[in-house]
Chains A and B, each alone.
Chain A
Amino acid sequence: MTDIPALEVSHLVRNFRRPDRRVVTPVDDVSFTLAHDETLGLVGESGCGKSTLARALMQLPPPTAGTVKISGEDLTHQSASARRELRRKLQMVFQDPISSLNPRRRIADVVAEPLEIWGMGGAEQNRQHVIDALSEVGFDAETVWSRRPHEMSGGQCQRVAIARALMLEPKVLVLDEPVSALDVSVQAQILNLLLDIKSRRSFSMIFISHDLAVIRNICDRVAVMYLGRIVEIGKTEDVYRNPQHPYTKALLGSVLAPGQKLPDEEVLSGDLPSLIDPPSGCRFRTRCTRATERCAAEAPQLTAKDAEHFAACHHRLGRNEAAQRPSI
């Protein structure tokens, strides 16, 4: 284990100019590190910027500002060819497993494609490589070899996408809502598969999901995003047990445990503000019950509760306030 993190993201910004020339900033000054073999969850509601962040990491398209370092090497300020080389270390799995596989190619070709692109190995060696990759994700390679994506279920396609992403032995695997399109029973199969692969190989994961239960199951640390910014980041257990940011608490309070009755009042009212005209200061203040004048004037920075748990809030929750409803 070295001191250099697997991934280091500093002051990442991604903005887009709309047709009406107004600029929106779905990712606004995001910084975090990812240790070797660690799984970091990115959680937040739609429009919080988590998918844009993932794509900016992958340089799809590259971020507007800020840096992404993989094993200490800066991905953002490189020549195109050097960037291409570095990107091998960073692979991605998308939400919709069926549309992320080429419908006209056989499963074996889909999985072999990264090797072909990089001109690696001989035919026989690659063939063995594909067989190993398919069996690692739980297939009998011979059975699925010549199938096409439409002959597979969503869960099976997601296994193929994972096999493909692992072909080049990436340092970091970015998974954008990888189980959200799947049924509960299949979700569990994929989550277990990821845990199994992770126990055998050495790589880090960024796991994006809106599903707090799934995040808790698979992530060592979690970052909570709201309207383009990270509002809280820390070890998953700490953040879930002792949330510091009112938004994190509201998010956790909106999830029912099995058998739990619905409260009479919703935990968080209103909608996400528009990115075109985000609130000044703290972006959550328009929905926050603790908001004061200071929140409108001054954007809170991420500050440490302890060495590993940070929140961006002027009025952080105390221990008793943060207490969650009892679990069942």
Chain B
Amino acid sequence: MTEPLLQVRDLSIRFDTPRGLVHAVNNVSFNLMPGRTLAIVGESGSGKSVLSRAILRLLPDATARRSGQILFDGKDLASLGEAELRKVRGKDIAMIFQDPMSSLNPVLTIERQIGEVLELHLGLAAAARRQRTIELLTSVGIASAEQRLKEYPHQLSGGLRQRVMIAMALACRPRILIADEPTTALDVTIQMQILVLLKRQQRETGMSMIFISHDLAAVGGIADEVAVMYGGRFVEQAPTERFFKTRLMPYSEALLKARPNPFAPRGARLEAIAGRPPDLTALPPGCSFAARCTHQQPDCLRSVPPMTALSDRRYACFHPLVSVA
């Protein structure tokens, strides 16, 4: 049995804000196995982006309170010093973000930006950096990479910028790539190009991926496992194929049904989810989805349903949709 590469144990993140304490991530635990892709799906405010940033400790220490463990290769990232952490960030664990324009430095050339990573983590000299940068750009499908070296981010299209971000993230052959909505700002044809590219890179390097998205369909195409987040908690986690066959937690089912299917004949009304997501400053004592759930029972309002394991899947619901007895 292989060991997980990353183990997140009972992680909670709270933010002090003028409106009160925001419970952004609540008691989340999961394992990431080598070479596998875990997708974390949720709507805005579900806590998925905060969770992804918390793994690399990218949240402001002044306002973010953290509890729990983040074990990478046996080391607890949550307790590492800043200097130690810098050796992991961008090297062992790299990250790409939704908006490549604002994540790239607008006043540095592509060569400088990627070169910086190679110098910092690998200590490459100028000529080797240049050579490696061209290789990286070519490997992410950028044609005539040599000419691109002197260009600035604003000279590139959105798809090309995301490719540059990926090249930068892959520069040190990370063991884990965290991708936070990497295709959300892109057109569908470019989205597919980027997903195909990530999958191909994973096949070649054997890295693991955490793929954050609001788009269940895109996630199904790339992930081995799907986790659904709601109100800062994991509410269901299952191997992708099994997830698309059956959902146990009503929110997962509702999320899938709310989206029109582009390949089914035009239906009438969609099954919208009534109401709004919970306020993270005042989470209810029970299941955070109960207020919007059509299967709600009295016990759902009393206490938070615990994560329950069922063979290779987990769910947090007192009244799962499929009988599990």
By a beta-carbon cutoff of 8 Å, the part of chain A in contact with chain B is 45-46, 153, 155, 183-189, 191-192, 195, 210, 212-214, 216-217, 236-237, 240, 250-252, 254-269, 271-272, 324-325, 327-328
Q: Supply 28 A–B pairs (Cβ within 8 Å), ascending by A.
A: A45-B189, A46-B158, A184-B259, A185-B254, A185-B255, A185-B272, A186-B272, A189-B272, A189-B274, A210-B187, A212-B262, A216-B262, A217-B260, A217-B266, A254-B188, A254-B189, A257-B263, A258-B216, A258-B217, A259-B244, A261-B220, A262-B222, A264-B196, A266-B192, A266-B196, A269-B193, A272-B157, A327-B261
Residues in B whose Cβ lies below 8 Å from that of A236: 266
B191 to chain A minimum Cβ distance, whole angstroms, is: 7
A272 to chain B minimum Cβ distance, whole angstroms, is: 7
Say whether A185 contacts B188, CB under 8 Å. Answer: no
Closest to A217 in B: B260
B267 within 8 A of partner (CB): yes
The distance in angstroms between the C-alpha atoms of A268 and B159, with both chains bound, is 13
Say whether B192 contacts A195, CB under 8 Å. Answer: no
Contact of B273 among A185, A216, A259 (CB under 8 A): A185
Residues of B216-263 contacting chain A, CB below 8 A: 216-218, 220-222, 240-241, 244-245, 254-256, 258-263
The distance in angstroms between the C-alpha atoms of A328 and B259, with both chains bound, is 14
Residue among A191, A214, A257 with max Cβ neighbours from chain B (10 Å): A257
The distance in angstroms between the C-alpha atoms of A214 and B258, with both chains bound, is 11
Say whether B189 contacts A266, CB under 8 Å. Answer: yes
B160 within 8 A of partner (CB): yes
Contact of B258 among A188, A252, A269, A324 (CB under 8 A): A188
B322 within 8 A of partner (CB): no
B276 within 8 A of partner (CB): yes
* Majority DSSP secondary structure for residues of A touching B: loop
Say whether A271 contacts B160, CB under 8 Å. Answer: yes
Say whether A191 contacts B189, CB under 8 Å. Answer: no
Say whether B260 contacts A254, CB under 8 Å. Answer: no
Closest to B268 in A: A195
B242 to chain A minimum Cβ distance, whole angstroms, is: 10
Say whether B192 contacts A258, CB under 8 Å. Answer: no
The distance in angstroms between the C-alpha atoms of A251 and B277, with both chains bound, is 32
Contact of B260 among A213, A265, A266 (CB under 8 A): A213
Residues of B171-217 contacting chain A, CB below 8 A: 187-193, 195-196, 199-200, 214, 216-217
Residues in A whose Cβ lies below 8 Å from that of B157: 271-272
How many B residues touch the partner, as a band? 35 or more
Say whether B244 contacts A271, CB under 8 Å. Answer: no
A275 to chain B minimum Cβ distance, whole angstroms, is: 12
B269 within 8 A of partner (CB): yes
B152 to chain A minimum Cβ distance, whole angstroms, is: 17
Closest to B255 in A: A184
B16 within 8 A of partner (CB): no
Residues in A whose Cβ lies below 8 Å from that of B272: 185-186, 188-189, 191-192
Residues in B whose Cβ lies below 8 Å from that of A188: 258-260, 270-273
Residues in B whose Cβ lies below 8 Å from that of A254: 188-189, 191-192
The distance in angstroms between the C-alpha atoms of A214 and B270, with both chains bound, is 10
Closest to B188 in A: A254
Residues in B whose Cβ lies below 8 Å from that of A240: 262-263
- A183-B214 contact given A188-B270, A210-B187, A267-B189, CB 8 Å threshold: yes
Say whether B220 contacts A265, CB under 8 Å. Answer: no
Say whether A251 contacts B259, CB under 8 Å. Answer: no
Say whether B266 contacts A213, CB under 8 Å. Answer: no
A29 to chain B minimum Cβ distance, whole angstroms, is: 23
Contact of B264 among A46, A214, A271, A327 (CB under 8 A): A327
Say whether A258 contacts B189, CB under 8 Å. Answer: no
Residues in A whose Cβ lies below 8 Å from that of B44: 183
Residue among A183, A186, A250, A258 with max Cβ neighbours from chain B (10 Å): A258
- A237-B268 contact given A45-B189, A213-B259, A262-B221, CB 8 Å threshold: no
Contact of B265 among A185, A187, A237 (CB under 8 A): A237
Residues in B whose Cβ lies below 8 Å from that of A256: 192, 217-218, 220-221
Closest to A267 in B: B192
Residues in A whose Cβ lies below 8 Å from that of B269: 192, 195
Residues in A whose Cβ lies below 8 Å from that of B265: 237
Residue among B43, B272, B274, B276 with max Cβ neighbours from chain A (10 Å): B272
